[in-house]
Amino acid sequence: MSLVDVHNLKVHFPVRRNRFGPATAYVKAVDGLSFSIERGETLGLVGESGSGKTTVGRSLLRAIDPTAGTIHYHLGNQSIDLTSLQGRALRKFRKHIQMIFQDPYSSLNPRMTVRDIIAEPLVANDLARGAALDEQIRETARRCKLNLEHLRRFPHAFSGGQRQRIGIARALVSNPEFIVCDESVSALDVSIQAEIINLLMDLQRELSLTYLFIAHDLSVVAHISNRVAVMYLGQLVELAPTKKIFYSPKHPYTEALLSAIPEVDPDLKLEPANLKGEIPNPADPPTGCRFHTRCPYAEAKCRSEVPAWRQLAEDHHVACHFSEELGLKGMEVPTQRAGS
Ligand code: SF4
């Protein structure tokens, strides 16, 4: 059963010559995404920088107002379209959805103690006071394996991994159902990344959390995700269970992203040069298939016809004219978790 249903989500940012002038173009950061996130699952969202994945995450929190589309949350027996909420109703709803940010250094206010940082969502929304507030802070800190003595200190006294635990505690303290993890381990050392990912997985089991896990690195996504959605230039190009994405990708862009992580299987000879050039300008995307300017398999049809978002199998969607014929190369799944 899905917790979040996104339908035809679009986020277009106007480009103006001056602040009050008319829009001369639109940057189509997100351009017609439809997908669901099942209750209790982790959906990985991957793509290069500039693909629009952070904009999707922020839209799901209504930190950005979508240009079009709907975002339905199914909480209890209610179905709420987040795009229709405004003012107080939106603020009240925000306790159900939280975000863990990328940079554990800049995302914490250096003038606030750890206690006050964790307390912020409860205080701002008047969700707890006095002894109940303190107890909720301590319980959340314990869950995130933070030393309670550290609650009185300031963020500068902590390492990157500890700061990210503080960020996780702040996201968890209001008991949300859904958390967007936006490149939440990208700024950390590899050994610390594993610690934080294991903590997120433990918390998910304990608290029945649902995650959208945004990353540019497919190997990180594989470790935590049940399914993976691959995004290119504002659109989804492939969505499937993690194992299928790694073993048998059906989109050339997914194959190219896999080729960038040779350590997963050193015997597999995939050319990293598969992916040439830069991601095109989202204000002026290529005609036909948006990937055709970089795709090694592109044919004339790719330049003129937009590939449909279609279902290859019950759990596998792709947007490529030639998915069945290409025989793309995959890799081995590097984790036990990535088998669902
Ligand atoms: Fe490549 Fe054509 Fe498929 Fe696009 S539609 S990914 S250009 S083969």
Residue-wise pLDDT for 224-262, tens only, equals: 999 999 999 999 999 999 999 999 999 999 999 988 775
Sign of CA dihedral 92, 4, 258, 319: negative
Q: Which atom of ligand 1 is nearest to the CA of 297?
A: 8
Tell how far the Cα of 263 is from the centroid of ligand 1, in angstroms. Answer: 26
pLDDT at 272: 47
pLDDT value at residue 245: 94
227: tokens are 């399914």
pLDDT at 226: 96
pLDDT score for 75 = 85
Which residue blocks in the chain are alpha helix, DSSP H?
53-60, 87-93, 114-124, 130-143, 160-172, 190-207, 218-224, 242-247, 252-258, 300-304, 323-326
Predicted pLDDT at 273: 46
Nearest Cα residue to atom 5 of ligand 1:
320
List, for residues 318-333, the tens digit of each pLDDT value.
999 999 999 898 876 5
Hey, what are 331's tokens?
A: 């890799």
Q: Which residue, 121, 119, 147, 146, is CA-closest to 133?
A: 119
Which atom of ligand 1 is nearest the CA belonging to 290?
Answer: 4
C-alpha distances in Å from residue 232, one per residue of 30, 45, 86, 187, 278: 10, 11, 30, 22, 12
Task: Give the span between the Cα atoms of 213 and 302, in whole angstroms.
Answer: 30
CA of 8 to the centre of ligand 1 (A): 22
Q: Which stretches of the chain drop beneath a pLDDT of 50?
A: 264-266, 268-273, 338-340
Residue 316 carries which side chain, given as an amino acid letter? H
User: Which residues form ligand 1's pocket by a CB distance below 6 Å?
Assistant: 251-252, 289, 291-292, 295, 297-298, 302, 307, 320-322
Question: Measured in angstroms, how far is the CA atom of residue 239 from the centroid of ligand 1?
Answer: 16
Which pTM does this prediction carry? 0.90
- Provide the pLDDT for residue 332: 60
Q: Do 177 and 145 meet the contact criterion of CB atoms below 8 Å apart?
A: no
Q: What is the pLDDT at residue 126?
A: 80
CB atoms within 10 A of CB 213: 27
The alpha carbon of 177 and the centre of ligand 1 are apart by a number of angstroms equal to 37
- Model pLDDT, residue 339: 45
- Which tokens is 284 given? 């002026």
Alpha-carbon distance 178 to 54, whole Å? 16
Tell me how far the alpha carbon of residue 115 lies from the centroid of ligand 1, in angstroms: 51
Ligand 1 atom closest to Cα of residue 302? 2
